[in-house]
Amino acid sequence: MPVYPFFIARAAVYLALISSIFCSYANEEQEGGRKTNRPNFVVMLADDLGWNDIGAFGNTKVHTPNLNKLASEGMCFDQAFLTSSSCSPSRASILTGRYPHQTGAEQLHWPIPETQKIFPERLKLAGYFVAAAGKWHLGEAMRERFSVVREVDTSGFQLPAHSGVGANDEFAESSSGDARSGCTEWVNVLRERDPQKPFFLWLAAVDPHRPYEDKISARPHPPEEVLLPPYHPDTDLVRRDYARYYDEIHRLDRFVGLVLNELQIQKAVDNTVVIFLSDNGRPFPRDKTSLYDSGIRTPLIIRWPSRIKPASRCHQLVSAIDLAPTILALAGFPAGPSYVGKSFTSLLEGKENPTRDAVFAEKNWHDYEDRSRAVRDHRFKYIVNHYADLPATPPADAARSDTFKEMQRLRAEGLLPETQSSCFLAPRPREELYDLKADPHELRNIAGMPAHEDTLTRLRAEYRQWRVRTREKTPRLRTPDEFDRVTGKPTPARIRPRWSKKKMIEEGIILP
Residues that bind Ca ion (CB under 5 A): 47-48, 87, 279-280
Is the CB of 96 or the CB of 316 nearer to Ca ion? Answer: 96
Least separation in angstroms between CB 371 and Ca ion? 19
Is the CB of 216 or the CB of 277 nearer to Ca ion? Answer: 277
Is the CB of 276 or the CB of 380 nearer to Ca ion? Answer: 276
Torsion sign, CA atoms 426, 472, 288, 402 = positive
Is the CB of 279 or the CB of 322 nearer to Ca ion? Answer: 279
Is the CB of 87 or the CB of 456 nearer to Ca ion? Answer: 87
DSSP assigned state of 292:
S
Q: How far apart are CA 23 and CA 38, in angstroms?
A: 12
Count of all residues that appear for the chain in the document: 512
Least separation in angstroms between CB 221 and Ca ion? 21
Is the CB of 279 or the CB of 287 nearer to Ca ion? Answer: 279
Is the CB of 277 or the CB of 318 nearer to Ca ion? Answer: 277
Q: How far apart are CA 97 and CA 60, in angstroms?
A: 33
Is the CB of 107 or the CB of 272 nearer to Ca ion? Answer: 107
Least separation in angstroms between CB 48 and Ca ion? 4
Asked if residues 156 and 175 have their Cβ atoms less than 8 Å apart, the reply is yes
Is the CB of 103 or the CB of 280 nearer to Ca ion? Answer: 280
Q: How far apart are CA 231 and CA 239, in angstroms?
A: 13
Least separation in angstroms between CB 234 and Ca ion? 26
Least separation in angstroms between CB 94 and Ca ion? 12
Least separation in angstroms between CB 134 and Ca ion? 12
Residue 151 φ then ψ, to 5°: -85, 135
Asked if residues 275 and 320 have their Cβ atoms less than 8 Å apart, the reply is no
Q: Helix H segments across 227-319?
A: 236-265, 293-296
Least separation in angstroms between CB 115 and Ca ion? 24
Is the CB of 138 or the CB of 335 nearer to Ca ion? Answer: 138
Least separation in angstroms between CB 209 and Ca ion? 6
Least separation in angstroms between CB 84 and Ca ion? 10
Nearest to 471 by CA among 49, 73, 98: 98
Asked if residues 199 and 262 have their Cβ atoms less than 8 Å apart, the reply is no
The DSSP string of 322-379 is: GHHHHHHHHHT----TT--S---HHHHTT----S-S-EEEEE--BSB---EEEEE-SS
Residues 6+ apart with CB under 8 A from 276: 43, 44, 45, 46, 67, 70, 256, 299, 300, 301, 302
- The residue at minimum Cβ distance from Ca ion is 87
Residues 6+ apart with CB under 8 A from 440: 293
Three-state secondary structure of 17-33:
HHHHHHHHHHHCCCCCC
Q: How far apart are CA 374 and CA 368, in angstroms?
A: 19
Least separation in angstroms between CB 404 and Ca ion? 17
